Amino acid sequence: MKTKFKDLTIWITGASSGIGEALSVEFAKQGARIILSGRNSEKLEAVKKQCKQSKKHIVVPFDISDTDQAKEAYRSVKTQAGKIDWLINNAGVSQRSLIMETTEEVERQLMEIDYFAQTRLTRLVLPDMIAQGQGKVVMVSSIAGMIGTQYRGGYGAAKAAIHMWADSLRAELHDQGIEVANIFPGFIQTNVSINALTGDGTAQGTMDDATNKGLTAKAFAKQVRKALIKGEEYIVVAGRKEKLAMRINRVSPPKLYKLIRRSQVK
């Protein structure tokens, strides 16, 4: 049965920039009503204006790492939208620091934002989806959550954790009409590396060369939309190098890690 986007209400976190912004614009173009969330209300309003039929979309700003704010945001979405068909957990922060130079506090911050905040919001939304008898939960993991590289130890661990949690959720709720999808982005042209945490918790503040040469956020959003509408559950959206690394990893992880050790990954 073909999904009609005009009938869908899609809640997207991290919607104020980057791939969250691109996903919001892409799904709005298809006719869906978008709930745009992030911390910066002005940026969210600017993204809303880019969305087709902008008046029907809803901005709900909040800090996803704050439990009380997450609960209040959920209540606000329920009041304003009435239902949530899809939840796209896109909010997150990356890392650019070696493990031995990263404090435990920073690793906990990465895990809180990239794992616990996502599972918390999903738990708030799931009872309504189950009551509806249908819904889709989408977790934005990362290639770094499948292949460990330098400078991303805590980030990769958090993204691997959300990947495994989503797999378990899919197994548990498959017979209750709940679909669960994992997205694994490679290098995408966004501010992710600029905002990435360094070992002491400060932002890196610069753009990685690999990120700068990655896929555009617009191209990423189109691929994701096509994959989700087909019902795909494991969605890799990346360049040729990342996809090649995935293939090598399936055949021979030791061979891949020899290549990673020799590379200048940052």
pLDDT value at residue 265: 73
Query: Which residue, among 146, 163, 148, has the nearest Cα to 99 in the 3D structure?
Result: 148
Closest residue by Cα to residue 193 from 56, 49, 93, 81? 93
pTM passes above 0.85: yes
- The pLDDT tens digits of the residues spanning 182-229 come to 999 999 999 999 999 999 999 999 999 889 989 999 999 999 999 999
Tokens at 102, concatenated = 């990263």
Cβ of 207: how many Cβ atoms within 10 Å?
A: 14
Q: What is the pLDDT, as a whole number, of residue 263? A: 83
Identify whether 155 is a catalytic site residue: yes
Please tell me whether residue 185 adopts helix, strand or coil conformation. Answer: strand
> What pLDDT does residue 2 have?
60
Q: What are phi and psi of 137, to 5 degrees?
A: -110, 125
Whole-angstrom Cα distance, residue 132 to residue 42? 33
Q: Which candidate, 222, 259, 223, places its Cα nearest to that of 241?
A: 259
Q: What is the pLDDT along the chain (266 residues), one digit of tens a residue?
A: 467 899 999 999 999 999 999 999 999 999 999 999 999 999 999 999 999 999 999 999 999 999 999 999 999 999 999 999 999 999 999 999 999 999 999 999 999 999 999 999 999 999 999 999 999 999 999 999 999 999 999 999 999 999 999 999 999 999 999 999 999 999 999 999 999 999 999 999 999 988 998 999 999 999 999 999 999 999 999 999 999 999 999 999 999 999 998 887 77
Domains of the chain in start order, with CATH, are 5-239 (3.40.50.720)
Catalytic residue chosen out of the listed positions 74, 115, 151, 155: 155
Sign of CA dihedral 212, 23, 143, 154: positive
State residue 188's pLDDT score.
Answer: 96
